[in-house]
Structure formats: C-alpha cells, structure tokens
Amino acid sequence: MSGPGVPAASVADVEVAAMRRALELARRGPEHDVNPRVGCVLLRDGVVVGEGWHRGAGTPHAEVAALADARGRGEPTAGATAVVTLEPCDHTGRTGPCSLALLEAGVARVVVSVTDPNPVAAGGAARLRAAGVDVVTGVLDDEGRAVLGAWVATVERARPFVTLKTATSLDGRVAAPDGSSRWITSAVARRHAHELRAEVDAIVVGTGTALRDDPSLTARDAAGGLVAHQPLRVVVGRRAVPDAARLRGPGGELVELRTHDPAAVLEALGARGVRTVLVEGGPTLAAAFLRAGLVDEVHAYVAPVLLGAGAPAVADLGVATLGDAVRLRPTSVLPLGPDVLVVATPVPRAPLTVPPHEEV
C-alpha cells in the first residue's frame, strides 16, 4: 500500500499511468450528484482494453462501464487488471456490486486510489481479496481524494461540507454604519464568488440577510446571465421570505428552514442529497456555524478598504480570552484585482457554547 499521493512500490509504471487516465475519466462525471465521480481503466498485458466512468446516479458504475467498453471492443477481461479511482462497491443499490462484476469478468488484479469511506458501500477490496484477486490500494491517494472533492468529507463527517464565505473591508466590516454594503469588494472578486456559487449545492443565509439585503443568491456568468447549475437558496430562521422577494425569482429552488440550529440545517439539507453548502451570511449565522464547529473551510474576500465601524463579518463567538479564539490554518492566498481571497480551514477544537434563540 502506498502513502498519500505516492504510488505503491508494487505498482507498475503502466498502472500509475492508467490511474492518471482513470482520474481524467472520473472528472467527466457530474459534479452535482449524490454519487462520487469515479473512473476505471482495464489493462491486459499493459495495454488498455476498456475505459469507463460513472455518469450519475442510476447509471452503470465506472467498473461496469469499463467492462462493457472492453466487451464492445471484443477484448477478453479474464486475467485483466482494473485500475479504479475508488474502491469497488460491495452493495446493491440502483446497480449491483462492482466487486461481483469484476469477479464475474475474471479480473485478476485491482489497483485502487481511494478506499471507500462509506460503510454501506465499502468492502469490495476485502471481497476481491477473499476470492484470490490481487488488490493494491492507496495509489495516488491525494489525487484521488481531490477528484472526489467534498464527497469524501461528506461521507466521513456524515453531513454536507460547509464553506463559510465572507466579503469584508480590511478591518473586517461587511457594511458601513448606514448599512450600505455594495460593493466592498471589486468586480473581479465578485466574479470569482459567482464561480464559487456555481460549484456548490446550496447557499445559506439567515432571515436577517434575506429581509435586509433582498439578495437573489444566484450563480451568474461574466455577462450576468444565470449559469446552468443553480444551487438551492436556503433561508434559515423563523421569519418568512416575502412573496415579492428576489429569492422567489429565477434561480435555484427556495428552501425555508424554520430553525436556528446549524446542525438541523445540515441534517435537512443532507436529506435532500446536498453535499456542499456555502454559508454567505449574515454575521449571526456565520457565528452560529463557527460556534457549532460546523465550518470546514473559510473563503475570506478582503478589500483594501477601511470603514472603522459597521457590521462585522462574524457576530459574537463567545470568546472571552485570546486563548479561546477560533484559529484558522491558511491553505491559499489568491489576488483578485485589488482584493485578496484567503482560503483557510479552522483548527479543530471543541464547539463553543451557542446562545439560545438568536435571530439569524
């Protein structure tokens, strides 16, 4: 078995090359699907005899697609090596177990990038080994996890992956004292933020933001048009969204969740098949997710502007002393015109106490 991102010693160069090809194939799968993006390449005597990738829920898995491709080419599969980006599943859902499909095809060796963290589907490697198939896992693991994206974190944490987005002045304000907030960041930063929206399954704001700012929460292209994928627009809180609100206009489905509990929000969205959540505001909602320890990544757009007063990006976190601060570990810094995007992950810590009955 190999370490993260490093080919296993027992893996041939041709198999590593096949894994890179399988990762390319996996990226062809749908980004917004309840199932992971998986690719598979079949080798016989070092030659590719079949390729496949998962095209979405209810369609053949990558291994089955690759086997079908080999049959279509008139290539035998007995004794072949299957190079696959995710451990073959061992359960029956809309399709049958890939482990059994590989056994029935006579595959003699399976090279895997990422072992399946899903306890419902895992076990394919064990079944294959028990049947005498040579199985190697962990090949290009880092690359494999990168292609799987938030799906891995969603399965491992049993909830959607949460990104907190802020757009602030240099002194951490999201609005001036009179409430004006358009625009603190530049057009370049806002364009990038729309690209981020287009990548997620749901955007979440509190009722305070929805009523005060009347946002549309859509993902738009450079020309201002709606992109093909529109995330769910989720409003959290007790107050209703007005009938004339822009949130009821063109864009993703509007979901109103009458709760102040971030865990309940994620549970409700997870039940809808949501894997990635973008929390956009306001300050009280951001603080609630941070206090609950339910933020996986922070995207902080910072403009070279000083306001000196006005609403902060994050409300009271219950931090009484510097030692209690929520610490972040930066992973990247990206200049965007005059602005800067800082991407960071919270350092794990115990959740902070959440004050009851807050209006978000």
Q: Which residues are catalytic?
A: 63
Read off the DSSP letter of residue 115: -
Exposure class string for 336-351: b at 16+ Cβ within 10 A, else e? beebbbbebebeeeee
CB 82 within 8 A of CB 107: yes
Which is it for the CA torsion 86, 92, 95, 101, positive or negative? positive
CA 52, CA 70: separation in Å to the nearest integer?
9
CA 37, CA 58: separation in Å to the nearest integer?
13
Q: How many CB atoms lie within 10 A of CB 89?
A: 26
CB 235 within 8 A of CB 210: yes
- Output the six-digit token pair for 118: 């899903």
